[in-house]
Amino acid sequence: MKKLFCSLKIVLTFLILIQILFALTACLPSENLKDGNEIQISENQNSLHIGDEKQEKSENETDNLSPEEYDLPIIMYHSVLQKGGTAYTISADMLESDFKYIKEKGYNTVTVNEVIAFTEGKGTLPDKPIMLTFDDGYYNNFVYVIPLLEKYDFKCVTAIVGSFSNSKDNIEGKKQSLSYSHMNKYQIKEAVKSGRVEIQHHSYSLHSYGKARKGMRINKGESYEDYKEMLVKDTLKLNEWLFENCEVTPTAYFYPFGAWCKEGYEILKELGFKATLGVEAGLNRIKVGIELKNLYRYNRTGTLTTNRFFEKNNIL
């Protein structure tokens, strides 16, 4: 009897140990499940810009926007040619293909000033806003872009480089090249009068290759006083030229080459600029009260089809 009791006790103890081990195993995470979740999260993340903060968002987060918030993709175009297809040129046909896509997907074009007004609580934005920007003020933008803006009832923002538009190559009456010329003061003024083009600031003479300085960025070892004098002089020179010749006062600064620095940003704020735009790819989250600092833009390379470009950047 004693032996039977001992045997039963051993069996019972063994069963209890098995149950405990089973319970502990069930609580452990599955390695396969863990790896799968991490991969899925990584694949579904995009850059998100809220004012001067960068966060991560999932593809479906747009559906959870509050009524006071908007996702704002900004497309960065440059030169538009009859036949284009490089990192910074696009063909006129491809541009029209982009416009068709944007229209069919229900996007509504907005300008920088409209976004500024919204963040200041002085205006509204449409559903699915999108901004179309054209850097450098190419003459071919005047020839090819404005008619397409009229056709699709769109607006755009053109960032002017003063030394390009005010050069001897772009004086009135001189034949301009679709490949390399820039809009002169008369064409800029006409573009503004169309009601389709907003003009903004891309520096007067800081968008040149081969210089010791990259864009508007402060140089290593340069004194703040010397840097501020240079940047203020260059910035006000274009402000004055645009106001006197085109009746335009810029409110946004487009960094040449996307190069910027904290010192320069603060100086631009002192000069009255309310938005700055860079060249880093990402999505902007816009809401009332934010600072429009270093907004993201998607560079429209001419080497991708319309669908491939917009799908790649999740502009659906």
The mean per-residue pLDDT over the stretch 113-139 comes to 97
Does the 50-312 domain belong in CATH 3.65.10.10? no
What is the SS3 assignment for 71?
A: strand
pLDDT band at 156 (very low <50, low <70, confident <90, very high): very high
- Residues 6 or more apart whose CB falls under 8 angstroms from that of 267 comprise 228, 231, 232, 235
Q: What are the pLDDT digits (tens) for 28-62?
A: 433 333 333 322 222 333 445 555 555 444 443 44
pLDDT confidence bin for 85, thresholds 50/70/90: confident
Residue 22 has pLDDT above 60, yes or no: no
What distances in angstroms separate CA 206 from CA 3, 209, 299, one per listed residue? Answer: 97, 9, 20
Q: How many CB atoms lie within 10 A of CB 142?
A: 25
**Is the pLDDT assigned to residue 74 strictly greater than 70?**
yes
Q: What is the pLDDT of residues 246-272, one digit of tens each?
A: 999 999 999 999 999 999 999 999 999
Residue 201 has pLDDT above 90, yes or no: yes
Predicted pLDDT at 210: 67
Distance between CA atoms of residues 252 and 116, nearest Å: 9
- Domain ranges in the chain are 2-32, 50-312
Task: Give the confidence band of 20 by pLDDT, cuts at 50, 70, 90.
Answer: very low
Under the banding of pLDDT at 50, 70 and 90, the label for residue 179 is very high
Residue position matching structure tokens 């968008």: 207
